[in-house]
Amino acid sequence: MERRFTQVNYGPYLVPVREGGYYDRFRMNPNLDEVARDPAAGNIDFFRRIPKQQVPSRVGPTWAPNFYYRTSNVQLLMQAPLARLRAMLPAPLEPLRALPGTGLVALTFFSYAVCDNDPYDEASIAVVIRRPGATGSPTRELLSSMRRRSFCAHVLALPVTTEIARVRGVQGYQLPKWLADMDVSIDDEVRACMYGPDGRPDLSVRSPLPALRRVTPQSRMSTATMVHQIDGAWHQTVVQTNTLAFAQRLFPQDVELLRQGGPMSQLLDGLGASRIVRYDVIKDAQVVLNMPTPLNAFDPH
């Protein structure tokens, strides 16, 4: 069935969205009772304790945070030389050292099946960084971050598959988003592929499906903090994830990563990303994306 689209205003921008979809119906402020009746959304009790508020943004008032009711993702955490990472990071950001001379790059494919701004897929390349203002041992910081499942990162690339996701990311958050085709599936095997502007595969991941663990809601919460600039000032954007079904493996031997020469492959090569340290497959999760907030840790004292 061919999908129909309608034009909606996002600040001063006119953007196509699915006709009758969540964005068309709710404009980011959903009636959770209606969402709960959508069988594709699953149990949404987690979101009922998180009130939405209308907050200012670069494009005018918007409802936040953004809810992702049913999501999945595949992440490869890879080693890369600290010198390469430092060269790619804007000052004063510092890569988080994992081993002497080595930092971490995360390649992630996301699939958002049910969310406030309609289904889309996304790919991310990000450098894991030290917490702004952190001092002391990087090793201790890394171990603490792993224990708390809470990391900071600077995103270098974030292509998406829909125009509403692109416009929101670029205009609302000033993140490096562009439109790209991609396929992400976690079924009998894990497959993720994004395509370059010429329509040919750029970057793809493939593996057997690892044995998944299903856990009690909110028993495996994690936090990712994006550190980025908006209009020249440093901000942080917090992403909270309520993982429901996942697998995690260290130094996997059966994960195929193909770099086929497009912009994302070139970026990974430029970072010197090499050995896969950890492989995460999240089959089912709920995500809360907050609005950016000013970051004062880099302000002169």
AA letter at 35: V
What is the predicted pLDDT for the residue at 243?
Answer: 97
The model carries a pTM of 0.95
Instruction: State the CATH class of domain 64-294.
Output: mainly beta
What is the predicted pLDDT for the residue at 272?
Answer: 98
Place of tokens 């990472």: 85
Domain ranges of the chain: 64-294
Within 10 A of 299 (CB to CB), how many other CB atoms are there? 10
CA distance 193 to 182: 5
Choose among 301, 295, 300: nearest CA to 129: 295
- Rounded to 5°, the CA angle 278-263-268 comes to 30
What is the predicted pLDDT for the residue at 44?
Answer: 96
- pLDDT averages per 10-residue partition of the chain, 301 residues: 85 94 95 96 96 92 96 98 97 92 97 97 97 84 82 97 96 96 96 96 97 96 96 96 97 96 97 96 98 85 55
What is the predicted pLDDT for the residue at 300?
Answer: 63
What is the predicted pLDDT for the residue at 267?
Answer: 98
